[in-house]
Structure 1
Amino acid sequence: MTVCLKGRKNEPERVGVDFEVWPEAIELGRLFAQEGYELALVGGPVRDLLLGRPSHDLDFCTSATPEQFEPILRRYGKDGFWDMGRKFGTLGALRRRDDGTEVQMEVTTYRSDVYDPDSRKPEVNYGDSLEGDLSRRDFTVNAMALRVPDLEFVDPFGGASDLHKQVLRTPVDPRQSFDDDPLRMMRAVRFVAQLGFHIAPETAEAMTDMVDRIDIVSAERVRDELTKLLLSERPRLGLEAFVESGLANIVFPEIPALQLEIDEHHRHKDVFEHTMIVVDRAVALETGPDGPVPGPDLTLRLAALVHDIGKPKTRRFEPGGKVSFHHHDAVGAKLTRKRLRALRFDHHLVDDVSELVDLHLRFHGYVDEPWTDSAVRRYVKDAGHLYHRLNRLTRADATTQNRRKAAMFAHAMDEMEARVTRLKEQEDIDAIRPDLNGDEIMAELGLQPGKMVGLARKHMLEYRLDNGPVDHETALAELHRWYDELNGGASDGQTDGASGDGGDNGNSNTNN
């Protein structure tokens, strides 16, 4: 059914949009009405309907209790039913259309929550009106409803007007709203990123004054909001609001710390501004679904955000007015791991983002002096499954305004990637292994399992990367050469070199 909404009589026009309402919503509304219950589509789906944004997850609220509407929802949700939110008054159902599209619906009894000031978890109390339920929502643009099946538009807090103005404002006093649920402050900066809206001055002021309240929110809930922000269409806008509000000082202090004071001679960039540019460029370098880095890619976007967080700790003012950030890649990798763990990110994601930060300067030497094939193999091997993301992060990080330098860098990266393609046609670089495995090394040198075997295998891997594949006899000869040199010319596997002390020395030599 097509509906057109206009401003009320004697009010300025707020929205005038023709749109098609989901037939599932109208049908479910009829079923509730037949039983004498109210049902209204609320929140994000109504907002997105007015914005013309697609949505397949429908949220409703109702005058019925879960026990009263459960039979209706079970019958209607013939393709799925769930009740994990029962204690909050929420039940869900799934309908699958003929074209295979799935529509998820969640229905919640009218709510009138009471919050404990030391917790963001509300004591759930059922309300008695739609308007009361809307008053407890986070922002006015999410506090609109559409009664079904009659399609009466309900907007007690001017959400449609705020939607037209692209502003985020709370339905009640913002201090009360954020005191009740501090996570709403994170949702505000997330909506800036998702919708491109700005935060109303009084709402922004309340956020700045109350940022400390975010401490009572679990790391997991904060992480989820930050993730949604990063995966949005405009992560930079959300990140800037995140920092401006003061939330980042508590949630992710390494990010506002990038706002380094530029030296008087402007010999280095504002690192925060540079980081925002890198985030934008990384997003632009994501690929379509069939490419190597389909967007939106959380790993790449997080790496772009944190790639320089080691700079504040490593900044040094050198003679002649120069500024250096030696080893900020390694320092940044450690800081990244610590912060992402604190935010309870998946450990695989933590490992990948930390590795990208550690490797993000690796390519720069290639621009001055192209690598040998062995160095290219080693780069690909070290990057592993992160190879395509690392290249995109490296490209995004090249923000020089010098056109000649930018062209040289782009050409060098193009050339290196072409060389990798050619090398991969000759051999599977990703699957490179030493020409001798651990069992062969132990048998040849008469060693028992231990540190020395690992050192020998590491050396043979380096030899393989440097020289490409060799025959078995050549590999054995190299193993003995290395082992004899390590042990001062001894050829017996049971020398002191096989002891723990000798292994430590070997490790040092190998790393050098």
Structure 2
Amino acid sequence: DMRRRDFTVNAMARRLETGELLDPLDGRADLALGILRTTSPASFRDDPLRMVRGLRFVSELGFDLAPETERQMRDSAEQVEHVSGERIGGGLASDGLGELSKLLLGNQPAKALRLARDTGVLVRFLPELEAAIGFDQESRYHELPLDEHLFAVAQAAADAGAPLRVRLAALLHDGGKPESAWRGKDGRLHFYANPALGKRSHEEIGGEIVSSALGRLRYPTRLRAAVRHIVRAHMFEPPRRALAVGARRFLHRHGEQTALDLLAHKRADLQGKRLAESPQTRAELERLGRFGEVLEQERAGAYRLEHLAVDGADLIELGWQPSPALGRALAHLLRAVIANPKLNTRERLLAEAAGLLENPRVP
């Protein structure tokens, strides 16, 4: 039975009667050395998921692959395509986590992702990243090849203890760059939208990559939507002046969870550059930190409709009819409160709503 296990470190047992350790494949020695070794040359053919599981152990435990195991992984990489998506991504276990999720939640995802790339396993379960491998960004903002940047951002997110949705976004956020790239008059590549050349922004394409990849890997709908939102919005710039009204508008635009996720992702994105120690990047990280402090203070403020001191029923009682105009009036009140929280009293908002009813001016 132990010889049919995946790796030697998992092929040990102990006799209940005597306490004797059964270790026919020297798994204890491999465990002491931090070596991951298959139990047989057929291990990956028997269950190709074991390749991704092995990479997960690299991330979680810092193990190294035995040379022959790495060769077996290279030779068998294409078999990963036959593994069901949920076993890799969304997960069939009670914790709802597949092997990729556990890899990203480990302590050393960059090490594991590099091994996944070098053995050919990565593009078998994430073909969307094939164009990113070795892609030269030719940008003054990035010195690293695109794949190395993605791995570095995933590592920075892990070092910060970010949630899975941020780590998935870290791995996929710039995946749209190869398709969106166009060369400017400065001779460099650019990745923002250029309609004249028929080029869409890399974050728009990246959102589509998230939908494709995470859908195929059977991640839950809500998680896919959260990751897609982060990727679509990840190009926001931390403001030079961290104003409370700007923080409230940011919370209103993205929602509390995604706003915090965007800050976490931006921090990891900045740290995942070879230029992370440059004065420009340090200044951007400082601006991000100041904005995060203000945003944290404003989380208790009013930036959603349910935070208003009045609701639709109050406006109907005032004389408004249930209609799209009522929704626009509430949105107008919310914009006013976001701009000036002192307006968020029942008396003031009802007075404003009454004025709108008599003299409609809401766009």
TM-score bracket for this pair, using the shorter chain length: 0.7 to 0.9
Note the C-alpha offset of 1:464.
2.9
Q: Aligned runs of 1:246-265 on 2, under 5 Å? A: 246-262=120-136
Larger Rg: 1
Q: Aligned runs of 1:206-285 on 2, under 5 Å? A: 206-223=72-89, 224-262=98-136, 268-269=142-143, 270-285=145-160
Identity %: 30
Residue matched to 2:93: none
Residue matched to 1:134: 2
CA pair 139-347 structure 1, distance change in 2 beyond 3 A: same
Q: Quick one: distance in 2 between partners of 1:392 and 1:429? A: 20
| Match status 1:392 vs 2:264 | yes
Residue matched to 2:352: 474
- Choose which of 217, 228, 242 in structure 2 pairs with 1:343: 217
Look up the SS of the partner of 1:156 in the other structure: coil
CA pair 311-434 structure 1, distance change in 2 beyond 3 A: farther
Match of 2:177, as an amino acid? K
Question: Is the 2:48–2:83 Cα contact (8 Å) retained in structure 1?
Answer: yes
Q: Quick one: distance in 2 between partners of 1:360 and 1:220? A: 27
| Match status 1:154 vs 2:32 | no
After superposition, give the CA deviation of every residue in 1:103-123 in whole Å (9 maximum; x if it has no partner).
xxxxxxxxxxxxxxxxxxxxx
Q: Select the structure with the greater relative contact order (CA < 8 A; seq sep ≥ 6).
A: 2
Q: Quick one: distance in 1 between partners of 2:297 and 2:265? A: 22
Question: Is the 1:185–1:207 Cα contact (8 Å) retained in structure 2?
Answer: yes
| Match status 1:413 vs 2:293 | no
Unaligned runs of 5+ in 1: 1-132, 287-294, 487-512
**CA root-mean-square deviation:** 2.9
Q: Quick one: distance in 2 between partners of 1:379 and 1:204? A: 46
Question: Is the 1:384–1:430 Cα contact (8 Å) retained in structure 2?
Answer: no
- Choose which of 239, 249, 255 in structure 2 pairs with 1:378: 249
Match of 1:239, as an amino acid? L
Structure 2 length as normaliser, TM-score?
0.81
Paired residues, number: 337
Match of 2:28, as an amino acid? A
After superposition, give the CA deviation of every residue in 1:400-439 in whole Å (9 maximum; x if it has no partner).
34532233223212322333344456x3546764565334
Note the C-alpha offset of 1:452.
4.5
Question: Is the 1:307–1:329 Cα contact (8 Å) retained in structure 2?
Answer: yes
Higher normalized helix content (fraction of residues): 2
Look up the SS of the partner of 2:21 in the other structure: strand
| Match status 1:170 vs 2:45 | no
Match of 1:276, as an amino acid? F
CA pair 469-476 structure 1, distance change in 2 beyond 3 A: farther
Residue matched to 1:314: 180
Residue matched to 2:195: none
Question: Is the 1:262–1:268 Cα contact (8 Å) retained in structure 2?
Answer: no
Structure 1 length as normaliser, TM-score?
0.59
After superposition, give the CA deviation of every residue in 1:58-86 in whole Å (9 maximum; x if it has no partner).
xxxxxxxxxxxxxxxxxxxxxxxxxxxxx
Unaligned runs of 5+ in 2: 90-97, 193-200
- Choose which of 205, 218, 233 in structure 1 pairs with 2:71: 205
Match of 2:280, as an amino acid? K
CA pair 211-453 structure 1, distance change in 2 beyond 3 A: farther
Note the C-alpha offset of 1:252.
1.3
Q: Quick one: distance in 2 between partners of 1:305 and 1:429? A: 30
